[in-house]
Structure 1
């Protein structure tokens, strides 16, 4: 309890805390932690399986965002308002929404403590807490109050995505610099999507001749799947974009408009780049609540079976999405595919049967390469292409752009979040005449 200066306040505090703690024990058959794409889709599926009164979801945010569209918001092709809806409108009706953050998970007692002092017990737990962005790990960045003034943007948060568009519009001449951090990230294609869109915008506005577009990635490759990486290298060369591998952004000196990168192959060796525009992809890490619990692996991610999504130690705990240690790219498309597998896993566990469907690691990354073209990368755990359409998806196509910009948001709000869209697996079989 916090100490207070006056006894009166102290007594008052004691009185309210004891009375508010007494009735705040609740129990649910299924408790879902996190109201992102994984949490909402699983609460919708659990409502259908068990009835709304048996399901609760813990989420503090009043707004839910469709984050994949932020790529287009940062490039001025969509408005940020189109990406958000009130959380109240996406939580399935009848499902209890606990408007608080998760404070602590105790799988040994099957309880969760929330930020507002509630203790909730559960029979089954679904953890969908996402990951944490760490802008603060880039030296100099937290001190910058006015990103617009210093021409910095980031498509990774709702607070900073429009600043990318400002930096792009205000670009005159010089270096447009894009970073990719030395950590796992969500949507690993996003840092270079904005680079291609910047290149396209500068060409459209007649500024490209005075611009030097630079992509500094901590990775040893341009993209993790060779088929798509080969296609992207061709685009990079044809558009005169400079790619530097194994370069990690460690500092921003806003007053000088300088970005400092460390050479990961020669630690301690740094390079300073002046910029006229800087797009920051922040380092990312596991959710602190997961990391601080018995559910985490050594790196702090939720430790689940990569085929069934059931926890490796606690059989009544399951995970989905970015918070897990599943060895695949962290995307909304992966969540969709995982949701149908997890739905099946839980239905089997409820009947004391063995899970019989396996998640193959399917994930997708629509690589936006222009204001009207996309390369649709789809692949599995082994990094092998797992394509839905019977065409070569490593080619830039306007049809795939239309799908990314117009079809996917619709599918997200009306399909995935309502628990009806489990990824393109069944359609892939049809498209390939049962061959895949």
Structure 2
């Protein structure tokens, strides 16, 4: 059994037919006419086999659909990408059709807009993210793999623990059947990985990425995770979070990963900070839990770090100069012009470069690494205090095991930045690498 068609009355039969044929690529049959009943109709068929029957009769009252009435409230048409939703919405706007819901990501993860047809019927234009089967991810001690039907008992053994549910905001599971149902409805087939200990083949937790319901950008995902209590404090969750975050940026092409936790969940906060997540703020009264508690959310975010292309190098040089002029007040114009060709022709080529880009694709900060040292780190003046510098430093430590940096002694702002991140001074040179009288401090953490 399947749905065949939906029938609606209209006063604008020809205009409605043209609307659905032109904009939604429907195919219309020949008009059906019943002169005795003064009835006319079209069948508009779409490629998925569903049809709309447009019907007209003089004695039928004009009752356009409203959002909050009983009965049919809207039609929904799917699109293959968020960009297509945006383009179609603008096409409708240009054609004069009302946009009653601007493009956004809904709470259930759909990217959608809402337009009105000539009769005022609501049409949702929807992009539903395709759930790609999770690839397995190997780490040193863990296997992250998709959940399976056979995981139900181990899943129940974890989720019945009250301490786990209290930290995650859900009611501890009471029966195996409850766990089995939740496993199928929430975890299997979605971007969620079972955390398996390689040594024992035990299921000990979960980590996942889902669309962030608080952000409209479909390239933003929210990280969620839980770990069974006997395995707390062993670094397993940090290992899993690091691997899944890398997967999100490199495989899914995400522009931002967010995470929320309760203020009392200090372990979760520690996991996020260890993995380079930056504190964004508190969302007050964000959630009412199953038992009626109202909790704030502490909000964190993680930015992608990538290596630049050859086309990025001119932008990097411009960023270097803008940053130096903003922070290196001890340098004269002659000094800047002395260093600029050295940066362009020697220094940038002698290090491994990494960048953070803003939401518009512009480079917000860059870092140069040698085998053991952060050789350079510069943030665009317009992007300072936004977390880009800290993200690069944390990336150097976490991903590259580099925890040393050199800084100009006269650059007090940079020095305080590194001291705040836990670095301490371990040495000093009277001159810089070019022999100029600008003392260099060596820091380590």
Class of the TM-score when normalised by the shorter of the 2 chains:
under 0.3
Of structures 1 and 2, the one scoring higher in RCO (CA 8 A, sep 6+) is 1
Query: TM-score w.r.t. structure 1 length?
Result: 0.26
More strand by share: 2
